[in-house]
Chains A and B, each alone.
Chain A
Amino acid sequence: MNNSDKITKYFLFAGSFLILIVAGGMVYSLVGGAIPAFHKFGWHFITSTNWNPTEGRESYGAMPFIAGTMITSVLALLISIPMAFSTSLFVSEYFRKTPVASVLSTLVDLLAGIPSIVYGLWGFYTLRPVIMHLGLSPQGFGVFTSGIILAIMIIPYATSLSNEIIVMVPNELKEAAYSLGATRMEVIFNVIVPNARSGIVASYILAFGRALGETMAVTMLIGNANKVPHSLFDTGNTMASVIANQFGEADGLKLSSLIAIGLLLFVITALVNTAGKFIIKKLS
């Protein structure tokens, strides 16, 4: 290898440092920024449900937001699974390679392109009145409304990978089941699902990871109440939405607490995504 080639190699190598620096810097800044909050409240910061910015009696706990994030995201996942699973079966099994399937999958892909704030507006002006009309909650805000919007938002993430995995289930296995008298539905549940299970699970985990960090749509719909929601129709706040909401007026201990929440959100999403990617890696 001559000199000019070596220089090129080092140049590429040096370029790859940036992402390391960014990632390292992110962890450093989040941890550094969160230290005052953890120093003041200790582990209690995570478990406390009290969020009180009144000067002199300042007290910050992340539990309402951890709970809000988890409840809305789990709800979103539960709502999206039947839709995502049906869409995958429609595209990759029942109507595989037909024009209707490609129309459907294009439309589902477009869902991923709609900006979060537009989902928020639609939720506010179209979905919220429906929730009010059904008498589910007086103002239409809350965990349930956010969960529905989040569910719609994560469907494309839940389907893209599972579509590919379902297509890959070998035809000969399906034929074996048909030859034994199974109906198509029985083939789906006894052959396709067991064989594609880990891929389907991985894609739902990654979709769940998306829901955890969604900010704008949730901020506009959850009602922004700094408490643990008591029911599905109660208002609340998520980790992402409390940062978006309260950041503007924040400094000192409050800013540190918001950064600490950001750190927790970072850790949770990183864990969830790593779990999903780990399953995918084991597949290939």
Chain B
Amino acid sequence: MKAIAIRDNSNSRNTKNKIFLGIVIFFSLLTILPIILIVGELVVKGIGQINLSFFTEAAPDTLQAMVAKANGETIPGGIANGITGSILIVVLAAVMAIPFGIITGIYLYETPGKRYSNIIRDIADILQGVPSIVLGLIVYLWVVKYITHSYSALAGSVSLAIMMLPLIIRSTEETLKMIPGTLKEAAVALGVPYHKIILRVLIPSSFSGLLTGILISISRILGETAPLMLTTLGNPRINWDITHPTSAVPLLIWQFYNDPNMVELIWSSSLFLMGFVLTLNIISKRISAKHSIH
């Protein structure tokens, strides 16, 4: 074999290698810049507005806000109607989605190879990707038009429950898959009835995994605005009737944003919402991290 003249390109390649590392670090830092800026901006602008009445009073109307502003006073009121509305809607959604999600997840775990299970799994995957605004549209057609005949907390809950359902199904199945099969076999060998195996073995031994899935799905739906605009509309007062229009924290932010007199209130309510969602997120990650060590 003839010797092939090889040009020494090591200098330029080593330089390129270093430049590339620089680029990677630069873009990685650029990626986390927004989260730092966003959190920083909300904290700086929002923290001063948070006080006791923020949690106990309903949102002001635009006139109250305008008068307060004209007199140089702080805008009165809080976001209690939003907080109570969010609690009502999310709890209702969770009550609807969690049992069915867990039941379906257990079913998928118990019948892994079946064609029907594969179809259910594919549907759950597709449903997970459906834009939330489309869910709002559909639930408007179902609940607002035919069941409550008005915008309602129930309608909002149904749309959020549809968001939660596939998340719970998949997280339940994935969690159950991680349980050692011997655990179940031991129970079966002892002649324990099937429903008791589920209630006494499967669910308790996968509890932290299920909880993580539930918390993550709740943190996903808590910040949702778009479907609620089409289903619960909003309410200036605290409302606990699920057939009536109801406010929610993200809806209030949207309302404040669109009202020049109240626009200053967006920062505190956004800070509150984001803080809540991120805390839930972090708690669920902690639980799942602990879980995976064992």
Contacts and interface: CB of A to CB of B under 8 A. Distances in A.
A and B touch in the complex (CB under 8 A): yes
B129 interface: yes
A68 to B, nearest CB: 14
Interface stretch (B54-62, B117-125, B205-213): B117-125
A89 interface: yes
Interface residues of B, number: 79
Interface in B149-190: 162, 165-166, 169
B41 A5 contact: no
B259 interface: no
Which of A155, A186, A216, A240 is the most central at the interface, judged by chain B CB atoms within 10 Å of its CB?
Answer: A216
A43 interface: no
A107, A120, A259 pick with most chain B CB within 10 angstroms: A107
Contact of B16 (A9, A185, A240): A185
A86 B23 contact: yes
Interface string B119-135: 01011111111111111
B30 A117 contact: no
B240 interface: no
B138 interface: yes
A2 B193 CA distance: 9
A82 B110 contact: no
A47 interface: no
A52 B142 CA distance: 27
Interface in B77-128: 99-100, 103-104, 106-108, 110, 120, 122-128
A22 B120 CA distance: 11
Interface stretch (A12-20, A134-142, A168-176, A222-230): A12-20
A61 interface: no
Given A30-B138, A115-B273, A110 B169 contact: no
A132 interface: no
B285 A83 contact: no
B133 A262 contact: yes
B274 to A, nearest CB: 5
Given A111-B34, A185-B16, A86 B27 contact: yes
B129 A273 contact: yes
Interface in B7-32: 13-14, 16-17, 20-21, 23-28, 30-32
Interface string A56-89: 0000000000000000000000000011111101
Contact of A118 (B107, B195, B274): B274
B107 A270 contact: no
A18 B100 contact: yes
A220 B257 contact: yes
Contacts of B253: 117-118, 121
Given A23-B123, A212-B131, A117 B270 contact: yes
Contact of B131 (A13, A121, A214): A214
Which of B27, B128, B277, B280 lies at the interface centre, i.e. has the most chain A CB atoms within 10 A of its CB?
B27
B43 interface: no
A101 B127 CA distance: 32
10 contacts: A16-B108, A16-B120, A19-B100, A84-B31, A115-B250, A116-B223, A117-B257, A186-B13, A244-B226, A272-B129
The 5 nearest A-B residue pairs measured at CB? A213-B131, A115-B223, A15-B103, A86-B27, A273-B129
Interface of A: 1-2, 4-5, 7-9, 11-13, 15-16, 18-20, 22-23, 25-26, 29-30, 33, 82-87, 89-90, 94, 104, 106-122, 124-126, 152, 155, 183-186, 188, 206, 209-210, 212-216, 219-220, 240, 243-244, 247-248, 258-259, 262, 265-266, 269-270, 272-274, 277
